[in-house]
Amino acid sequence: RAARFTLDRAFTVGEVDRRLFGSFVEHLGRCVYTGIHEPGHPAADSAGLRTDVLALVRELGVTAVRYPGGNFVSGYRWEDSVGPVGERPRRLDLAWRSTETNRFGLSEFIGFLGKLGPQAEPMLAVNLGTRGVAEALQLQEYANHPSGTALSDLRAEHGDKDPFGIRLWCLGNEMDGPWQTGHKTAQEYGRLAAETARAMRQADRDVELVACGSSNQGMETFAAWEATVLQETYDLVDYISLHAYYEELDGDRDSFLASAVDMESFIENTVATCDHVGARLKSKKRINLSFDEWNVWYMRRFHAEFEAGPPDWPEAPRLLEDSYSVTDAVVFGSLLIALLRHADRVTVACLAQLVNVIAPIMTEPGGPAWRQTTFFPFAQAARYGRGEVLDVRVDSPTYATAQYGEVPLLHATAVRDPETGGVAVFAVNRDQRRPLPVRIGLRDLDLAEVVEHTVLADADPEARNTLDDPGRVAPHEGRGAVLSGDELGVELEPLSWNVIRLA
Ligand code: AHR
């Protein structure tokens, strides 16, 4: 039978915040070095930024970019990353057992964002693992104070006369995780985050602050952690963070394809926890969600390799360089759908990460840059997911999964651009073998034509783009989407990500 849903202009979830299409640059592996920054590369500009990568990042359409970590931030000494490059110290990076040269730092990162265009904004993390309130304040003064103080004048002396104007700040990273350098209990972190937030607001009332939530929904402390941290910080922060990575485990592809079930419940459970604390505090304020790390990541494989050998502190090693298949891209698209479906509360999200490290863009040192399969769903969602998310209640045939029970074969959302009246439907067919007929009722939307139906699917679900064959996978045109009166009929290919644009 066909899957069905109805779109009605009157029933909306909320407006898509452009920050939902954020990403993440961490000093990890080759994300920075030989990823975005490679002086001497034939495509490098005068700042050593790879212009081939810049072009792909622009095409991807990222907005907020989180920096400099990740686990890296818990050992980050911001002052090492500024000033004359030749004088910057080399440091051990405990998180990734690497040597950090600091050849690329804060000023270079802001320069990189400047070349992406006005939609790109920094999202800076402060170190609350091995450091605290004082260092966060110093970094804020260096970055944002106009002039006339020791640290703002130092920035000018370093060549950056204009302040960086960073509004969005993360108060540490994954502080609930025992792997984090300087890991803390919820009570310890909650107090530190509250005092850091209070001090940063004393310096600048307009900062937007993200408190660390859970590193994934499976953490033993999940929900209790958020409740304790928010009890301490509710009036002082704007967001709580969520992180989640998904992978196919033990050949269970059916469950993997349903990963968004976990992501949606993680979001809904976090919203419930935030609102519970708000109710207890009798507060009218609403805490929003910053899903500032999400992706497909073959983490089990990574841990097996990473933990095997002793650290030898290499510079920019090849780490977390997952190569993504069509199947991975379909799951990835479904994760994007999950974020859009909760656009009322998820107002910041960062695809982790941007280049080489579990990334939509890959590079070869001295060689080319190319798009992974996951590049396409992200670029399309960032481009066409503008406006108001419509409330999509799917009635779909289901399939059985070991991890999530019965799951709908269809996962979908739709976004209406109020300026043009156009609607973009994003849909995934989780059925690995059969096409899925879908009927979409269109109420009060004034839509006259199917502008485009693109599909990411392949006869080989393992197909991927590689250095040797970088153009193997790309979206193709869908066939047979028919708009008749107030109904759209379409058949979705097996295991596919679809974008249907209506005007
Ligand atoms: O994105 C890779 C790592 O995953 C980040 O450094 C950390 O925050 C998370 O565990």
Q: What Å distances lie between residue 209 and 182, 206, 287, CA to CA?
A: 20, 10, 11
| Ligand 1 lining (C-beta closer than 6 Å) | 26, 69-71, 173-174, 293, 352-353
State the pLDDT at residue 135: 98
472-481: Cβ within 8 A, 24+ apart = 473/326, 473/329, 473/373, 474/376, 475/376, 475/380, 475/499, 477/452, 477/453, 478/453, 478/454, 479/453, 481/450, 481/453
Q: CB atoms < 10 A from the CB of 209, how many?
A: 21
In contact, 150 and 158? CB cutoff 8 Å: no
State the pLDDT at residue 480: 85
Angle between helices 133-144 and 186-203 (to 10 degrees): 30
Identity at 232, one-letter amino acid code: E
Distance between CA atoms of residues 12 and 80, nearest Å: 47
Q: Which of 332, 325, 297, 477 is nearest to 411 (CA)?
A: 332
130-134: Cβ within 8 A, 24+ apart = 130/74, 130/75, 130/181, 130/182, 131/76, 131/77, 132/192, 132/196, 133/192, 133/195, 133/196, 133/199
State the pLDDT at residue 307: 81
Among 174, 226, 264, 493, the one annotated catalytic: 174
Q: Which of 411, 456, 402 is nearest to 431 (CA)?
A: 411
In contact, 191 and 232? CB cutoff 8 Å: yes
What would the DSSP string read from start to end of 287-315? -EEEEEEEEE--HHHHHHHHTTSPP---S
Coil, strand or helix: which one is 197?
Answer: helix
In contact, 389 and 414? CB cutoff 8 Å: yes
Angle between helices 150-157 and 133-144 (to 10 degrees): 50
174 is catalytic: yes
Most ligand 1 atoms within 8 A of CB, residue of 27, 210, 219, 293 to mutate? 293
In contact, 354 and 65? CB cutoff 8 Å: yes
Q: Which of 165, 171, 175, 173 is nearest to 142 (CA)?
A: 165
Identity at 250, one-letter amino acid code: D
Coil, strand or helix: which one is 123?
Answer: strand
Q: Which of 410, 291, 360, 260 is nearest to 17 (CA)?
A: 291
Q: Which of 337, 336, 501 is nearest to 421 (CA)?
A: 501
Residue with the nearest Cα to atom 9 of ligand 1? 70
In contact, 441 and 395? CB cutoff 8 Å: no
Q: Which residue has the tokens 């922060």?
A: 237
Distance between CA atoms of residues 100 and 78, nearest Å: 12
Q: Which residue has the tokens 């419940």?
A: 265
Tell me the domains of the chain and their CATH numbers: 3-9+391-502 (2.60.40.1180), 17-384 (3.20.20.80)
Ramachandran class of 261: left when φ > 0, alpha when ψ lies in -120 to 50, beta otherwise = alpha
Most ligand 1 atoms within 8 A of CB, residue of 174, 216, 242 to mutate? 174
Identity at 267, one-letter amino acid code: I
462 is catalytic: no
Looking at ligand 1, which atom is closest to the CA of residue 295? 1
Tell me the whole-structure pTM to 2 decimals. 0.98
In contact, 7 and 423? CB cutoff 8 Å: yes
Residue with the nearest Cα to atom 2 of ligand 1? 70
Q: Could you tell me the distance, in angstroms and rounded to a whole number, from the CA of residue 499 to the centre of ligand 1?
A: 30
pLDDT in single tens digits along all 503 residues of the chain: 999 999 999 999 999 999 999 999 999 999 999 999 999 999 999 999 999 999 999 999 999 999 999 999 999 999 999 999 999 999 999 999 999 999 999 999 999 999 999 999 999 999 999 999 999 999 999 999 999 999 999 999 999 999 999 999 999 999 999 999 999 999 999 999 999 999 999 999 999 999 999 999 999 999 999 999 999 999 999 999 999 999 999 999 999 999 999 999 999 999 999 999 999 999 999 999 999 999 999 999 899 888 877 778 999 999 999 999 999 999 999 999 999 999 999 999 999 999 999 999 999 999 999 999 999 999 999 999 999 999 999 999 999 999 999 999 999 999 999 999 999 999 999 999 999 999 999 999 999 999 999 999 999 999 999 999 999 999 999 988 999 999 999 999 999 999 999 99
Polymer length in residues for the chain: 503
Most ligand 1 atoms within 8 A of CB, residue of 24, 71, 123 to mutate? 71
Identity at 328, one-letter amino acid code: D
Distance between CA atoms of residues 225 and 218, nearest Å: 12
Distance between CA atoms of residues 372 and 471, nearest Å: 9
Phi and psi at 239, nearest 5°, equal: -135, 155
